[in-house]
Amino acid sequence: MIKISFILLLFSCMNLSASVTEIDDISGYDIKNILNKLNPHDTLIIHSGEIHDESIVIKKPLTLIGKNNPIINGKGGDHIIKIFADSVEINGFTIQNSGFSHVQDRSGIRTDSIKHCKIVNNIFNNTMFAFYAARSSDLTISDNIFLGKGKRESASGNAVHLWYCKTAKVTNNRLEGHRDGIYLEFTENVVINNNHTENNIRYGLHFMFSHNAEYKNNIFRNNGSGVAVMYTRNVLMENNVFELNQGAASYGLLLKDIKDSKIINNKLVNNSTGIYIEGGGKNELRGNLIKSNAWAVRILASSTNNVFTGNSIMGNSFDLSTNSTMSQNEFEGNYWDKYRGYDLDRDGKGDIPYYPVRLFAFIVEKNPPLIILLNSFFIFILDLAENLIPSITPAAMIDNSPLMTPQYDKI
Kindly tell me the sign of the dihedral angle through the C-alpha atoms of 36, 40, 42, 47. positive
Residue 260 to residue 279: CA distance in whole angstroms:
12
Q: What is the pLDDT of residue 394?
A: 55
Dihedral angle of Cα 135, 160, 132, 100, to the nearest 10 degrees:
150
Q: What is the pLDDT of residue 10?
A: 37
Q: Phi-psi category of 106—alpha, beta or left, where left has phi over 0 and alpha has psi -120 to 50?
A: beta
Q: What is the pLDDT of residue 220?
A: 97
Judge contact between 29 and 46, C-beta under 8 A.
no
Tell whether pTM > 0.75. yes
Helix (H), strand (E) at residue 161: strand 160-163
**What is the per-residue pLDDT across 228-253, written as a single tens digit (0 to 9) for each?**
999 999 999 999 999 999 987 899 99
Q: What is the pLDDT of residue 377?
A: 60
**What is the per-residue pLDDT across 258-290, written as a single tens digit (0 to 9) for each?**
999 999 999 999 999 999 999 989 999 999 999
Residue 161 to residue 146: CA distance in whole angstroms:
12
Q: How many CA atoms, within 13 angstroms, populate the side-chain half-sphere of residue 401? A: 12
Neighbour-count burial for 305-330, b at 16+ CB within 10 Å, e otherwise: ebebbbbbbbebbbbbbbebeebebb
Q: Is the pLDDT of residue 54 over 90?
A: no
**What is the per-residue pLDDT across 128-185, written as a single tens digit (0 to 9) for each?**
999 999 999 999 999 999 999 888 887 789 999 999 999 999 999 999 999 999 999 9
Q: What is the pLDDT of residue 378?
A: 56
Q: In the predicted model, what is the mean pLDDT of residues 26-42?
A: 94
Judge contact between 312 and 290, C-beta under 8 A.
yes
Q: Residue 13, SS3?
A: helix
Closest by CA position to 128, among listed 103, 152, 149: 149
Q: Is the pLDDT of residue 227 over 90?
A: yes
CB atoms within 10 A of CB 66: 24
Mapping DSSP onto H, E and C, the string for 266-322 reads CEEECCCEEEEEEEEECCEEECCEEECCCEEEEECCCCECCEEECCEEECCCEEEEC
Q: How many CA atoms, within 13 angstroms, populate the side-chain half-sphere of residue 224? A: 17
Q: Which domains does the chain have, with CATH numbers?
A: 16-220 (2.160.20.10), 224-411 (no CATH)
Judge contact between 399 and 334, C-beta under 8 A.
yes
Residue % of the chain over a pLDDT of 70 = 85
Q: In the predicted model, what is the mean pLDDT of residues 333-339?
A: 95
**What is the per-residue pLDDT across 340-397, written as a single tens digit (0 to 9) for each?**
899 999 999 999 998 888 666 666 666 666 666 666 665 566 666 666 566 555 566 8
Lowest mean pLDDT among 68-77, 342-351, 393-402: 393-402
- Residue 8 banded pLDDT, cuts 50, 70, 90: very low
Q: Is the pLDDT of residue 112 over 90?
A: yes
202, amino acid identity: R
Lowest mean pLDDT among 76-85, 100-109, 310-319, 386-395: 386-395
**What is the per-residue pLDDT across 283-324, written as a single tens digit (0 to 9) for each?**
999 999 999 999 999 998 899 999 999 999 999 988 998 877
